[in-house]
Amino acid sequence: MRYFKMRKYDTANWDGLNTTIFFSGCTLKCPGCFNEEAQDFNSGFEFTKKEEDLFIKWANDTYVTGVCILGGEPFDQDLEDMYRFILRLKTEVKKPIHLWSGYKFEDLLCGKISKDILKLCDTLVDGRFDIDKKNLNLKYRGSSNQRVIDVKETLKNRDMDFKVLNITRIIHII
């Protein structure tokens, strides 16, 4: 896997102080993407054990409240490597994990490894960026078609009602 950038302290993507990584490579290539330079699979740097250890160390900082994983597209990476990385975050950092993907939650549930990755995450911001639905007033996302999903609550619900977070409250999407 390759990453485009890592931020030890980030307040731009989620509430609080987060440690953030942007992985390189995206096949979706949404027009108007805020991070077009990370769409190239060859951009950035190799994500080695050294970088992974550094990221884990940063995320364990007392002041850090969570971890943000963006891209590029996290689900366009080697999924076994991504699973191992997020499992390590879950076991060694023990802070909320927020993940962004252009793929829909429902589609990610169809793959065994992608579903296993989701089970480790607390929140998923899903859906392709749609420039025609761009809204800079939205929290955590760039277009109104994207959803902020409470993964744990949604997976608990047998009827698959989505627990979509709407800024400060939870609404049900049926």
pLDDT in tens, 72-94: 999 999 999 999 999 999 999 99
The pLDDT value recorded for residue 36 is 82
The pLDDT value recorded for residue 31 is 87
The pLDDT value recorded for residue 156 is 84
CA 164 to chain centre: 15
What's the domain count of the chain? 1
Which residue carries 């993940």 as its tokens? 99
- Checking if the pLDDT of 174 tops 60, the result is no
- In which domain, by residue range, is 73 found? 2-173
**Tokens found for residue 58:** 């940063």
More confident residue, 95 or 168: 95
Query: Does pTM top 0.85 for this prediction?
Result: yes
Stretch 33-55: mean pLDDT: 93
